[in-house]
């Protein structure tokens, strides 16, 4: 008897069924610039006609070991939001408008219901970002992944006018720093968080300080800041100088990436941190320096704006539904060629 591809572990019929389920999800994210639909070899998207000297901006990322929680809890409808967020939140730091997103979903054996749930989350993340789910790839790879597990990667492309690109070249001493609240751990530091928390609590345990089960708190989706940034740029225009996505490496590791040499960010970290971070610190125990370089500690995005625009920026972010507050400011360093750095007020100089 002839051997089939299904007997080797790859179910083409299941993959075809998944494509049919994906089509309406992708259609729900369609934007005016998209040409065609899902199902071809490649996706097509036009450049917006109202962007002068357009530059394409790209970003790619994954969800990391946060996926282990989705597997353990059999909850797959939020990690797709995380996937989009981790890519889009990088792209928007340049001032770009997200245009489209593509995903890569790989598993050992394709479960159409699970894959559809994941991709429904991706579509939701695209809707929150205002970008199109333009296409993707589903790979069934027998023997590569344990049963019930999968991996995700995402790819986002945006567009920005050359004259509007944000970043170190625009920042200068005196600029104000604004913190924008995170929704939790986002998608960083989960290897440490899981090691600490699961050593003390079951994922289904109700923890009063979290107001939820541990698993639900840990699976809270990464906040997507695309619409809020659009509102901020609309309100302040060129007075927005830089944006920092607080991702792996924490605030101290990421903020210098968007600052000019010779700038020191003096910041206050006296805000009330989400209870999940305090729980990790206490149960580890994990010391303050390790927390700072691993987690966002309640700050998912930092905006760098011109002096005198602090109140306007906070108002614009709050009008967009974000919680924002003054984080500090930039000061000059003695040597203008010294790489940018962060100083936390209250730490030794």
User: Residues 178, 155: one domain?
Assistant: no
In the predicted structure, residue 25 carries a pLDDT above the cut 80: yes
Query: What does each C-alpha distance from 54 to 43, 69, 164, 239 come to in angstroms?
Result: 19, 40, 10, 20
Q: What is the pLDDT of residue 216?
A: 97
Judge if 260 and 129 occupy the same domain. Answer: no
- Report d(CA 190, CA 123) in Å as an integer: 24
Whether residue 179 is found in the same domain as residue 231: yes
One domain for residues 40 and 115 = yes
In angstroms, the Cα distances linking 85 to 130, 153, 169, 221, 256 are 12, 12, 25, 9, 21
Given this model, what pLDDT does residue 347 score?
86
Q: What is the predicted pLDDT for the residue at 2?
A: 87
Report pLDDT for 36: 80
**CATH value at residue 172:** 3.90.650.10
Instruction: Supply the pLDDT for residue 41.
Output: 86
Contact 333, 265 (CB under 8 A): no
Residues 134 and 51 in one domain: yes
112 domain-assigned = yes
| pLDDT, position 40 | 78
Quick one: pLDDT at residue 5? Answer: 79
Residue 154 and residue 62 in contact, taking contact as beta carbons nearer than 8 Å = yes
Provide the domain limits for residue 139.
12-162
CA-wise closest residue to 43 among 100, 118, 112, 122: 100
Percent residues over pLDDT 90 in the chain: 89
Compute the distance between CA of residue 313 and CA of residue 1 in angstroms, rounded to an integer. Answer: 70
pLDDT digits (tens, 9 = 90+) for 65-79: 999 999 999 999 999
Q: Is residue 4 part of a domain?
A: no
Residue 232: other Cβ atoms inside 10 A: 30
Same domain, 216 and 262: yes
Mean pLDDT of 43-57: 94
Read off the pLDDT band of 9 (50, 70, 90).
Answer: confident
Is the Cβ–Cβ distance between 154 and 106 less than 8 Å? no
Residue 45 maps to which CATH number?
3.30.1330.10
Are 183 and 286 part of one and the same domain? yes
- For residue 63 the two structure tokens come to 């969800």
Does the pLDDT of residue 49 top 80, yes or no?
yes
Q: State yes or no: cis peptide before 134, omega within 30 of 0.
A: no
Mean pLDDT of the chain: 95
In which element (H, E) is residue 332 found? Answer: strand 324-332
- CA 263 to CA 176: how far, in whole Å? 12
- In this structure, the answer to whether residues 63 and 121 fall within a common structural domain is yes
Q: Is residue 275, in this structure, part of any structural domain at all?
A: yes
**pLDDT given for residue 151 in this prediction:** 97
**Rounded distance between C-alpha atoms, residue 142 and residue 122, angstroms:** 24
How many folded domains does the chain comprise?
2
User: Is there a domain that residue 61 lies in?
Assistant: yes
pLDDT at residue number 39: 73
Q: Cα(137)–Cα(141) distance, rounded to whole angstroms?
A: 12
- Tell me the C-alpha distance between 49 and 41, whole Å: 25
Q: Of 162, 195, 219, which residue is a domain's last?
A: 162
pLDDT value of position 285: 97
3-state secondary structure of 328: strand
- Taking alpha carbons only, the member of 45, 41, 16, 51 closest to residue 30 is 45
Q: Please indicate, yes or no, whether residues 201 and 340 belong to a single structural domain of this protein.
A: yes
pLDDT (tens digit per residue) in 289-333: 999 999 999 999 999 999 999 999 999 999 999 999 999 999 999
State how far the alpha carbon of 113 is from the alpha carbons of 21, 110, 150, 224, 236, in Å. Answer: 10, 9, 13, 25, 44
Confirm whether 253 is domain-assigned.
Answer: yes
Return the residue matching tokens 């010779």: 262
- Final residue belonging to a domain, choices 162, 196, 219: 162
pLDDT at 1 over 80: no
- Do residues 232 and 141 share a domain? no
Please indicate, yes or no, whether residues 152 and 175 belong to a single structural domain of this protein.
Answer: no
What is the tens place of the pLDDT at every residue in 166-221?
999 999 999 999 999 999 999 999 999 999 999 999 999 999 999 999 999 999 99
Are residues 64 and 195 located together in one domain of the fold? Answer: no
pLDDT tens profile 229-276: 999 999 999 999 999 999 999 999 999 999 999 999 999 999 999 999
Within a domain: 184 = yes
DSSP for 225-271 reads -HHHHHHHHHHHGGGEEEEEE--TTHHHHHGGGGS-TTEEEEE---S
Q: How far apart are CA 218 and CA 79, in angstroms?
A: 11
**Domain end call among 162, 181, 213:** 162
Q: Is 104 among the domain residues?
A: yes
pLDDT of residue 10: 82
Report the distance separating Cα 96 and Cα 226, nearest Å.
9
> Is the Cβ–Cβ distance between 86 and 65 less than 8 Å?
no
Residue 3 maps to a domain: no
Q: Write the CB contacts of 12 (distance below 8 Å, at least 6 apart in sequence).
A: 5, 6
Confidence of residue 52 (pLDDT cuts 50, 70, 90): very high
């Amino acid at each position: 008897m002839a051997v089939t591809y299904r007997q080797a572990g790859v179910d083409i019929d299941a993959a075809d069924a998944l494509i049919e389920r994906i089509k309406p999800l992708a259609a729900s994210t369609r934007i005016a610039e998209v040409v065609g639909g899902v199902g071809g070899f490649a996706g097509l998207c036009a450049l917006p006609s109202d962007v002068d000297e357009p530059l394409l901006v790209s970003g790619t990322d994954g969800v990391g070991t946060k996926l282990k929680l989705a597997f353990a809890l059999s909850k797959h409808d939020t990690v797709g939001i995380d996937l989009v967020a981790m890519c889009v939140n990088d792209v928007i730091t340049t001032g770009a408008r997200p245009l489209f997103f593509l995903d890569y979903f790989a598993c050992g054996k394709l479960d159409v219901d699970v894959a559809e749930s994941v991709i429904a989350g991706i579509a939701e993340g695209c809707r929150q970002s205002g970008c199109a789910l333009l296409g993707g790839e589903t790979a069934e790879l027998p023997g590569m992944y344990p049963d019930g597990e999968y991996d995700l990667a995402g790819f986002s492309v945006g567009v920005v006018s050359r004259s509007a690109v944000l970043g170190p070249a625009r920042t200068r001493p005196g600029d104000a720093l604004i913190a924008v609240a995170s929704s939790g751990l986002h998608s960083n530091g989960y290897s440490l968080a899981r090691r600490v928390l699961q050593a003390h609590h079951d994922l289904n345990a109700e923890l009063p300080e979290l107001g939820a089960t541990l698993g639900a708190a840990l699976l809270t989706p990464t906040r997507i800041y695309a619409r809020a940034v659009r509102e901020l740029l609309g309100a302040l225009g060129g007075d927005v100088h830089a944006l920092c996505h607080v991702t792996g490496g924490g605030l101290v590791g990421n903020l210098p990436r968007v600052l000019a040499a010779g700038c020191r960010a003096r910041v206050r970290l006296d805000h009330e941190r989400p209870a999940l971070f305090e729980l990790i610190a206490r149960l580890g125990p994990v010391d303050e320096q390790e927390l700072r370089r691993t987690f966002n500690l309640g700050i998912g995005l930092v905006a760098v704006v011109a002096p005198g625009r602090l109140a306007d920026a906070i108002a614009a972010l709050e009008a967009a539904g974000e919680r924002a507050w003054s984080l500090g400011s930039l000061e000059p360093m003695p040597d203008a060629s010294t790489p940018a750095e962060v100083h936390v007020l209250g730490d030794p100089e």
